[in-house]
């Protein structure tokens, strides 16, 4: 907590400054000092982290941040304490070819390397090492992305403060065990698969085998390497990365029951889906506002997110877009194109392009009629919160899963980039614009998504403060300290089976013994009868 210096000479102070001083004290008396470790060089992840940290600051806390995306404008009590140089230039820089190369990579392998071991090399940085030294005033907790680089938890371990995880999506298979999160693979699909519940037998079988494989592969790739980096930089007696994971007190996950379905959970896992749906930092240019206001027949917003460059896609794909989107005039299209000059000629007149768009303000505009998207979780959650139906063209990672979930809820139509035709694009546009089912379903889902006892940032703030107040083990599940075979009751079932076999064997022995006695008795009587005759 923040402390104000005691003012010795009260007599010389005026009344108003004194009142202001005490009001300032009261405004900070419940505040905590937090350290946030978010160095991953993926802008779409930071889209959640930045509003989370700004929201915590608005609640009266102070935050020091390690990131690759420092703020462009100062924000009170928010300090970019370490800026990690960007080596992966992904923002508005992923071509169609790069995207295809990424698709060919195993997703678990990508997380374990780019999102895991590579980030753990930052532990050798003197600025990062300095964070593990005691501070005055001290940190009250450490926030860290739980993804692939749980090695960063060594900072919280050395500072002896609670470690709070943040996940930009539902939990990856290797993260559940950190907090003893129950897994039921019978009806909860691995979040790297495209399955939606309910799953058939073959899907459930594949779900189990794939989940076991993903866990094994991630641990195989990261355990030895990340443990080595921890001990190399902080001492040979430091805990391994798997032990550090078990120090996580709370995980805030970007999910919600309306989108992700019903999952078994432990209190240490808290849904804060849609936390980033906040427009404080967005500005709407006057000319763009006028364009949207003048779109009396409505408009469609089209973007492939913060990384992918639509203009690098095959000419045949862009030709289909031009033809189909041009047909729906006077409905207009607003497209985010990082490099508009690279587009082929012939752009229809009803399309307006720009390298940057204030996405949430666009999705909230009353004239918007649909959202054409690659299916990124952040953008689609914004569309859900605004009640906007979607046409999904998933490209990689969790985008297929996200769009499938929205299709199942009748708020989206899915198309395939590889097999897209003008006919299928025309049909999707006509359906999303003309069929009231999609708009009504989107509005109903939006209402359910926003209907909560506390909004997302208040929920996150409450549970962070709860862990700080009552200790790092206040939400700890007993499952964290149990082995898989204990959790699955393999020992209990094995013991009961042993007892059952023992009882059955005993019964069989007794029955056989009784039959032998009876048989012996009959033989004795028969022998005596023969002798008597």
Give pLDDT, residue 306.
Answer: 80
* Torsion-angle region of 387 (φ positive above 0: left; ψ -120 to 50: alpha; else: beta): left
Six-digit token pair at 35?
């350290």
Give pLDDT, residue 427.
Answer: 96
Yes or no: say if 160 and 135 are a contact pair by the CB < 8 Å rule. no
pLDDT at residue 41 is higher than 50: yes
pLDDT digits (tens, 9 = 90+) for 232-243: 999 999 999 999
Count Cβ neighbours within 10 Å for each residue of 442-462 and write b for 16 or more, e otherwise. beebbeebbeeeebbbebbbe
Six-digit token pair at 244?
């550090």
pLDDT at residue 112 is higher than 70: yes
- The angle subtended at Cα 389 by Cα 383 and Cα 394, nearest 5°, is 75
Give pLDDT, residue 281.
Answer: 63
pLDDT at residue 90 is higher than 70: no
pLDDT at residue 14 is higher than 60: no
pLDDT digits (tens, 9 = 90+) for 251-288: 999 999 999 888 899 999 999 999 999 766 667 888 99
Question: From CA 189, how far away is CA 455, in angstroms rounded?
Answer: 27
Give pLDDT, residue 516.
Answer: 86
Confidence band, pLDDT 50/70/90 cuts, at residue 303: very high
pLDDT digits (tens, 9 = 90+) for 205-217: 999 999 999 999 9
Q: What whole-number percentage of the chain has pLDDT above 70?
A: 92
Run of H or E including 525: helix 490-532
Give pLDDT, residue 2.
Answer: 38
Give pLDDT, residue 310.
Answer: 87
pLDDT digits (tens, 9 = 90+) for 434-461: 999 999 999 999 999 999 999 999 999 9
pLDDT at residue 172 is higher than 70: yes
Yes or no: say if 414 and 394 are a contact pair by the CB < 8 Å rule. yes
Yes or no: say if 167 and 252 are a contact pair by the CB < 8 Å rule. yes
Yes or no: say if 153 and 240 are a contact pair by the CB < 8 Å rule. no
pLDDT digits (tens, 9 = 90+) for 346-361: 999 999 998 888 999 9
pLDDT at residue 332 is higher than 70: yes
Question: From CA 59, how far away is CA 55, in angstroms rounded?
Answer: 6
Give pLDDT, residue 1.
Answer: 37
Question: From CA 24, how far away is CA 42, in angstroms rounded?
Answer: 37
User: Averaged over 496-522, what is the pLDDT?
Assistant: 91
Give pLDDT, residue 7.
Answer: 39
pLDDT at residue 12 is higher than 50: no
Q: Give residues with Cβ within 8 angstroms of 41, minimum separation 6.
A: 68, 84, 86, 87, 88, 90
Which has more confidence, 197 or 104? 197
Confidence band, pLDDT 50/70/90 cuts, at residue 93: low
Location of structure tokens 């230039």: 89
Six-digit token pair at 160?
């002896």
pLDDT at residue 18 is higher than 70: no
User: Averaged over 31-48, what is the pLDDT?
Assistant: 92
Count Cβ neighbours within 10 Å for each residue of 484-518 and write b for 16 or more, e otherwise. eeeeeeeeeeeeeeeeeeeeeeeeeeeeeeeeeee
DSSP 8-state assignment for residue 303: E
Average pLDDT over the chain, rounded to an integer: 89
């Amino acid at each position: 907590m923040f402390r104000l210096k005691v003012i010795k000479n009260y007599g010389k102070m005026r009344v108003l400054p004194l009142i202001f001083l005490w009001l300032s004290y009261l405004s900070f008396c419940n505040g905590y000092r937090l350290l946030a470790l978010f160095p991953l060089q993926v802008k779409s992840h930071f889209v959640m982290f930045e509003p989370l940290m700004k929201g915590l600051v608005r609640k009266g806390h102070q935050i020091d941040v390690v990131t690759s995306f420092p703020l462009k404008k100062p924000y009170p009590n928010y300090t970019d304490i370490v800026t990690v140089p960007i080596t992966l230039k992904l923002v508005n820089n992923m071509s169609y070819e790069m995207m295809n190369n990424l698709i060919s990579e195993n997703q678990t392998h990508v997380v374990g390397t780019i999102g895991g071991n590579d980030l753990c090399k930052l532990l050798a940085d003197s600025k990062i090492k300095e964070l593990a030294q005691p501070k005055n005033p001290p940190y009250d907790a450490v926030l860290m992305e739980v993804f692939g680089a749980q090695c960063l938890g060594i900072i919280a371990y050395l500072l002896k403060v609670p470690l709070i995880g943040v996940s930009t999506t539902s939990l990856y298979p290797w993260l559940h065990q950190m907090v003893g999160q129950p897994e039921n693979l019978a009806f909860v699909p691995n979040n790297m698969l495209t399955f939606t519940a309910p799953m058939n037998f073959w899907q459930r079988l594949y779900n189990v085998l794939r989940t076991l494989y993903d866990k094994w592969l991630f641990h195989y790739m990261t355990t030895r390497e990340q443990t080595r980096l921890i001990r190399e930089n902080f001492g040979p007696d430091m805990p391994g990365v798997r032990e550090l994971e078990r120090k996580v007190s709370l995980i805030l996950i970007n999910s919600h029951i309306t989108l992700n379905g019903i999952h078994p959970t432990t209190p240490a896992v808290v849904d804060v889906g849609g936390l980033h749906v906040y427009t404080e930092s967005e500005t709407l240019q006057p000319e763009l506002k006028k364009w949207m206001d003048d779109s009396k027949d409505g408009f469609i917003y089209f973007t492939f997110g913060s990384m992918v460059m639509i203009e690098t896609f095959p000419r045949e794909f862009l030709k289909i877009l031009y033809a189909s989107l041009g047909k729906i005039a006077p409905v207009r299209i607003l497209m985010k194109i990082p490099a508009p000059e690279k587009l082929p000629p012939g752009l229809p007149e009803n399309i307006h392009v720009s390298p940057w768009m204030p996405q949430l303000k666009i999705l909230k505009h009353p004239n918007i009629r649909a959202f054409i998207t690659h299916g990124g979780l952040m953008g689609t959650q914004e569309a859900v919160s605004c009640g906007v139906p979607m046409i999904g063209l998933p490209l990689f990672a969790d985008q297929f899963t996200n769009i499938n979930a929205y299709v199942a809820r009748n708020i989206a139509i899915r198309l395939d980039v590889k097999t897209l035709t003008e006919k299928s694009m025309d049909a999707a546009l006509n359906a999303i614009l003309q069929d009231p089912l999609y708009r009504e379903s989107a509005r109903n889902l939006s209402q359910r998504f926003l209907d909560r006892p506390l909004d997302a940032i208040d929920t996150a703030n409450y549970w962070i403060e709860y862990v700080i107040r009552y200790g790092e083990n206040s939400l700890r599940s007993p499952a964290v300290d149990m082995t898989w075979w204990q959790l699955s009751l393999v020992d209990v079932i094995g013991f009961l089976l042993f007892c059952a076999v023992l009882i059955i064997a005993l019964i069989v022995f007794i029955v056989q013994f009784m039959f032998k006695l009876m048989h012996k008795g009959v033989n004795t009587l028969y022998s005596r009868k023969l002798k008597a005759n």
